[in-house]
Structure 1
Amino acid sequence: MQLIGLLPLTAVPPNGLHNFPPVRDNNRRANTPTNRSVPEDQEESMNTTFDFTGKTVVITGGARGIGRRIAERFFEAGANIAICSRSNAGSDELAREIAGDENDRILTTAVDVTDVAQLREFLDTVADRFGRIDILVNNAGIMTAESVYDITEEGWQRVLDTDLKSVMFASQRFAELHRRNPKPAAIVNISSISATTYLPNNLLYNVAKAGVNTITKTMARALGPEGIRVNAVGPGSTPTDLNAALYADPAVEQALCDRLPLGRRARKDDIADAVLFLASDAADYVTGQILYVEGGWLTL
């Protein structure tokens, strides 16, 4: 089993071009530039304005990739943020880079999200520190690539515990804490187009993300009467340092971009914008939805 790494890593075909969506017009993008190799520190900001001043946001897996950008955007929008990751190194670095003198607005800690006791303790610590938690972003996860013949019980357990069990039990504790101070609140889960594209070498990830969608819709019905909205964002292929090796050959990345109606892969800000929207008052009548941010992949 090949371990790809912590999310966000979404819908990346691991074994060649035949897994990409079919081409609809081979010539339509011959002269269209793509964002094939946008460095993480040179992404275009979408400049979408949200105000989360006074809100407290928890982001699991928030030290790297899409999770890091989500954390940065919430902090820029005035929120208190609490980040957990597998180790303190990445989250501490993020805190130093974005918080500066405002480190009273950020909490970071190492948490094994497959350990329910650790997850519950983390959320309790955040609630004690900031008084309440308004928004939970379930972002932590891993992705593996292997054929159906190479899947092991250990691999199954690891992916499902990280990507699915953590969503269930972080959301459960969030809802329990919400009952102490019931104000409008939101959960945003990070899903993937893999929940519906069924790439053959990503079976474990596909199963986990399909489960995330089911948790999202079921909890939306269960928690809506308590004032908690539950939605998910399903990214398409999004460049991060964790999936760069899969697109080291420019021809592979170009082949994907040529097949997407919008002609490029997602930027991390594309995903962060969707998360902030679903967490904001602009979406206060939206629940139980999976918002796919994938450049038109699912239309093919």
Structure 2
Amino acid sequence: MFLPSFRLDGKRAVVTGAGRGIGRALAVGLAEAGADVALIARTREDLEETASIIHELGSRTLILQADVTKRKEVQQAVAQVQGEWKNIDILINNAGMNIRSKALEVTDEEWQTIMDTNLKSAFMFAQEIGKIMKEQPTGGRIINISSVAGHVALRTGVVYASTKAAMIQMTKVLAMEWGQYGINVNSIGPWYFKTPLTAKLLADEDYVRDILAVTPLKRVGELPELVGPVVFLSSEAGSYVSGQTLFVDGGMTIHGF
């Protein structure tokens, strides 16, 4: 038999930014594949909604309300998951945000807020959970949610793009350092997907026309199309993939004229 398993039965996952949008979809997708999922975000009500969906699938959840930019709160959240479940097999670094200021208008506060939320938080979770995975016989999987903005120049804002490019490079270095411990580190680079955060932008017909003009598949992504790649990288099917960024973008990053 040559087909490896895409199932995640018995695995324990941590998903940041799990309250809504992409984070919720990924958390539910991991649960559908059999994993128990620890849900981390700032808003408890959103986390409870995500948890209720997962419970219907028969998987367990932990709800951890935390500010992912604060080291102490990250450590407390990770310690709570380890205390409850012992092993942590999968980390999805999804928490992120953006302020669409033009480069000449970016303030120091905006710079620091976006850097802390998108990049620093991902590193802190990777570092704290990496310590646990290092000691596990089975290692672990870390998946960072980057963006096509980390690879090509877009109108998403210079700070956001900088964090996503740095996340791609961070993925490579962590994969190189931690491969010896059986830890696979990869990233996903989405283009536009239908979420509550993109709803306003995608309601603008001119904006959507510009998006589709550089997207070979000529449509915006649906969240299940992002879940599949994450489950693949989390499962035995992706066991020999590390240090890579998989762009889930309808072909946008290969677009030419």
TMscore range, shorter length: over 0.9
User: Cα deviation per residue 1:127-160 (whole Å; 9 max; x = unaligned)?
Assistant: 1111210000000010110111110111110000
Computing the radius of gyration over CA atoms, which structure comes out larger, 1 or 2? 1
**Alignment map for 1:69-108 (pairs within 5 Å):** 69-100=25-56, 102=58, 105-108=60-63
Tell me the residue number matched to 1:54. Answer: 10
Within the candidate set 182, 185, 195, 2:137 is matched to 182
Structure 1 residues 247 and 92: alpha-carbon distance in aligned structure 2, compared to 1, 3 A threshold: same
Tell me the residue number matched to 1:120. Answer: 75
**Alignment map for 1:278-293 (pairs within 5 Å):** 278-293=233-248
**Alignment map for 1:138-217 (pairs within 5 Å):** 138-217=93-172
* Displacement after TM superposition at 1:50 (Å): 3.0
Residue 246 (structure 1) aligned with residue 246 (structure 2)? no
Tell me the residue number matched to 1:28. Answer: none
> Which amino acid counterpart does residue 51 of structure 1 have in structure 2?
R
Q: In 2, Cα distance between the equivalents of 1:267 and 1:101?
A: 21
Q: In 2, Cα distance between the equivalents of 1:241 and 1:63?
A: 11
Tell me the residue number matched to 1:268. Answer: 223
User: Cα deviation per residue 1:36-66 (whole Å; 9 max; x = unaligned)?
Assistant: xxxxxxxxxxxxx831110000000011111
User: Cα deviation per residue 1:199-235 (whole Å; 9 max; x = unaligned)?
Assistant: 2551010000011011100000000001100000000
Comparing 88-97 and 131-140, the one that deviates more: 88-97
Residue 228 (structure 1) aligned with residue 167 (structure 2)? no
Specify every segment of 5 or more residues in structure 1 that has no aligned partner in the other structure, as ranges.
1-48
* Displacement after TM superposition at 1:92 (Å): 0.8
Contact 1:148/1:201 (<8 A) preserved? no
The structure showing larger relative contact order (alpha-carbon pairs under 8 Å, at least 6 residues apart) is 1
Contact 1:87/1:109 (<8 A) preserved? no
* Displacement after TM superposition at 1:283 (Å): 1.0
Contact 1:138/1:167 (<8 A) preserved? yes
Contact 1:187/1:229 (<8 A) preserved? yes
Q: In 1, Cα distance between the equivalents of 2:53 and 2:237?
A: 29
TM-score when scaled to structure 1? 0.80
SS at match of 2:241: coil
Structure 1 residues 228 and 257: alpha-carbon distance in aligned structure 2, compared to 1, 3 A threshold: same
* Displacement after TM superposition at 1:101 (Å): 8.6
TM-score when scaled to structure 2? 0.93
SS at match of 1:72: helix
Q: In 2, Cα distance between the equivalents of 1:291 and 1:132?
A: 26
Contact 1:191/1:212 (<8 A) preserved? yes
Specify every segment of 5 or more residues in structure 2 that has no aligned partner in the other structure, as ranges.
none
Contact 2:11/2:35 (<8 A) preserved? yes
Q: In 1, Cα distance between the equivalents of 2:211 and 2:118?
A: 25
Q: Percent identity?
A: 35
